[in-house]
Amino acid sequence: MTRILFIDDEPINHQLVARALEPLGLQMEFANNGTEGLAKARNLKPDTIITDVMMPDINGYEVTRLLRRENQFAATPIFILTAQSGLQDKLKAFEAGADDYLTKPFEGAELAARVSALLRRMETVRGSQPSVPVEEGRMIALHSLRGGTGCSSIAVNLGVGLAALWPHSTILLDLNMTAGQVALMLNMTLRRTWSDVAHFKPGEMDKEAIDSIVSSHESGLSLIAAPTLPTEADSLHGEILETALHILRQKYEYVLADLSHDFTDVAVQSLDAADIIMMIATPDMASIRAVSAAMETYSRLGYPNEKIKLVLNATFPHAGLPKEKIENALGISAVATIPYVQDVFVEGINFGRPPVFYKPQEPISALLEDFAFYLSKDGHKKTKPENPTEAWTRVYKRFSVRRK
């Protein structure tokens, strides 16, 4: 039977919540303060935890933070129920790692509906855990020495595209440790991030530790988020990141890494491990100069030319440098050119709704979906899946039309 733990120092609230959730047929457990709640959570391992905020010993935000630091509660739904109704209070709840928030007084039907939704979402995540592929996953690193080129947005949409083509086999790593925005672009609550394993010793990093910081998007894309704040961005120890990448490539068929705009140790280590380095450039002189500097550094690092792929992303409508001149200047052809579609991308970023998933019929979504297919393993591209996804069917139809 599904077990719910409710933490609140007011006995009357225990009765109100129990009555509201009674139609769900759940097993209710209660704690009278934060300290007792933490102890009962560790002992009972409930399926969902509901906590008040204002308690005499430890407030609900701190209870949530402490639980999220423990591997066993990394994916447990946590619901904050409180009389505080201000915007800042809601933001504090989500920053602490809560999945949902409801103010008192509440309607019993709404509480029951929200708890039901959390439990259904959790079951969906559990049922979509990636299986272990036979061969090592393909790693694609997205890199630019200049900000504002759309690296993160492209990474998110390609990740969603790959997840739609080949279900349950793609993970996106936000390795921009001081300014990562991937979780925001997916409208995902940060439960655990890289900072939760940065302090590990090399021998402590294993599959369970990695799984504890992986989140799942409704598209099927898995994610490891960058720290919420730059002050939490402890640099990943080289051996820790190396071990993590090895484990992830054993588990996922596609590993995308959104990197910082520099050559820090984390960036270089990721570039070293990548099968493909995707350089993102915009059609302006500053961006092209940054690409040229990056290519020179790649050469010094010994990366083969076939590992480097150039993508041109038009982030402004007019007066951009011509594609041909850019390719001639850099001595490399672009494998993809993304047109200017500001409204679609800005809307997707602001609402955390990547167009490839939420607006698959948009021309830009089709282009990125086709590009995701282009980046896929040869074995995938050459063999029709036993159960083709809607995304695969769309790509196949477009390819068939172009062949005629």
Identify whether the C-beta of residue 104 lies closer than 8 Å to the C-beta of residue 81.
yes
CB under 8 Å to 65, separation ≥6 — which residues?
A: 96, 97
- What residues have CB less than 8 Å from 100, skipping those under 6 apart? 77, 79, 80, 114, 117, 118
pLDDT above 90: residue 101: no
Strand partners, 174: 258
Euclidean distance between CA atoms 374 and 85, whole angstroms? 48
How many degrees, rounded to 5, is the angle at CA 206 between CA 204 and CA 211?
125
189 has pLDDT over 90: no
Domains and CATH numbers, the chain: 3-127 (3.40.50.2300), 138-403 (3.40.50.300)
For the segment 18-29, what is each residue's pLDDT rounded down to a tens digit?
A: 999 999 989 999
Tens digit of each residue's pLDDT (9 = 90 or more) over 216-226: 999 999 999 99
In our burial notation (b when 16+ CB lie closer than 10 A, e otherwise), range 142-174 reads bbbbbeebbbbbbbbbbbbbbbbbbbbbbbbbb
Helix (H), strand (E) at residue 93: helix 87-96
| Length of the chain measured in residues | 404
- Contact status, residue 90 vs residue 101, Cβ threshold 8 Å: yes
3-state secondary structure 149-199: CCHHHHHHHHHHHHHHHCCCCEEEEEECCCCCCHHHHCCCCCCCEHHHCCC
Q: Are strands 222-224 and 27-31 parallel, antiparallel or unpaired?
A: unpaired
Q: If you average pLDDT over residues 42-47, what whole number do you get?
A: 89
Predicted confidence at residue 129, as pLDDT, reads 55
Confidence of residue 127 (pLDDT cuts 50, 70, 90): low
pLDDT for res 167: 85
pLDDT of amino acid 232? 73
pLDDT tier at 133, thresholds 50, 70, 90: very low
